[in-house]
Amino acid sequence: METNQTNETWNQPKQENKKIVAGICAILIGGIGVHKFILGYSKEGIIQIILSVVSCGLLGIIPFIEGIIYLTKSDEDFYNTYQVGKRPWF
C-alpha cells in the first residue's frame, strides 16, 4: 500500500485570499478606497479618495464595478491577478 501522494497540499502554507472582503467593501464603501487599502494598494486608495471628493461621489461607480469584478472572478484568478500580479485597477 503506497501512501505517497503526488499532489500533497496538506503541508503547503495557506494563501490568504481577500476576494470577499475587498469585493463587499468596494460595493458598499468603495468611494473611500477601502478595498484598495485591503489589497495593499495605498497609492491607488488615496487616488480613489481624491477622485470621490473632486467628483462629489459621481465616480463611485468605478469601485462598484470593481467590486462586482472581484466577486465574479474565481478565487485562484483573483489571487493571481490582484494579490500576486498586483494589478491595481480593474
The pLDDT of residue 54 is 93
Helix pair angle (19-29, 61-72), 10° resolution = 160
The pLDDT of residue 17 is 81
Per residue of the chain (90 residues), give pLDDT as tens.
555 555 555 555 556 788 999 999 999 998 899 999 999 999 999 999 999 999 988 888 999 999 999 999 999 999 999 888 888 887
Residues 6+ apart with CB under 8 A from 30: 48, 60, 62, 63, 64, 66, 67
